[in-house]
Structure 1
């Protein structure tokens, strides 16, 4: 797993230039990141390296990534977000 210092960097990376992304990514990090597998954590870190417009489009269902890992992470984050609405 990742160090406390790296975890803090990932938390900081969840802060985006778009409020809509902050509202989705920060709760996901707080509630799910520690429970992801090591590969899941790596995929989430890579997910955060994507551009805000891409993340927004993927998370809003207006497009999808061609990278299977980013597609899976999008589905994981969206699923978590939907579960909070129930």
Structure 2
């Protein structure tokens, strides 16, 4: 999904390396989620039931908004 690429590629290229190890692991867990779930979370149609995954979604959305 191109919309997800537009959020995830810049974050991965510019921010991933600066994450602590726990957040890097969490990011990898997030990426393993189903595409439709990711789309709904990032388009804010729903929230992940996993609070940690939702926190990573918010971190990525914040990065997309504010760089």
TM-score in terms of structure 1 length: 0.75
Distance 1:46 1:66 in 2: 14
Ranges in structure 1 where 5+ consecutive residues have no aligned partner: 1-17
Q: Please, what is the CA RMSD of the aligned residues?
A: 0.7
Q: Distance in 2 between matches of 1:79 and 1:42?
A: 19
- Tell me how far 1:30 sits from its aligned partner: 0.5
- Runs of 4 or more consecutive aligned structure 1 residues displaced over 4 Å after TM superposition: none
How far apart, CA to CA, are the structure 2 residues paired with 1:46 and 1:30?
17
Q: Does 1:42 align with 2:25?
A: yes
Which whole-Å deviations, capped at 9, do the CAs of 1:5-40 have from their partners, x for residues lacking one? xxxxxxxxxxxxx11111110000001100001000
Shift of residue 63, structure 1, vs aligned partner: 0.3
Query: Matches of residues 9-24 of structure 1 in structure 2 within 5 Å?
Result: 18-24=1-7
Count residues with an aligned counterpart.
67
Rg: which structure is higher? Answer: 1
Partner of 2:15, secondary structure, is helix
Structure 2 length-normalised TM: 0.96
> Which residue does the alignment assign to 1:11?
none
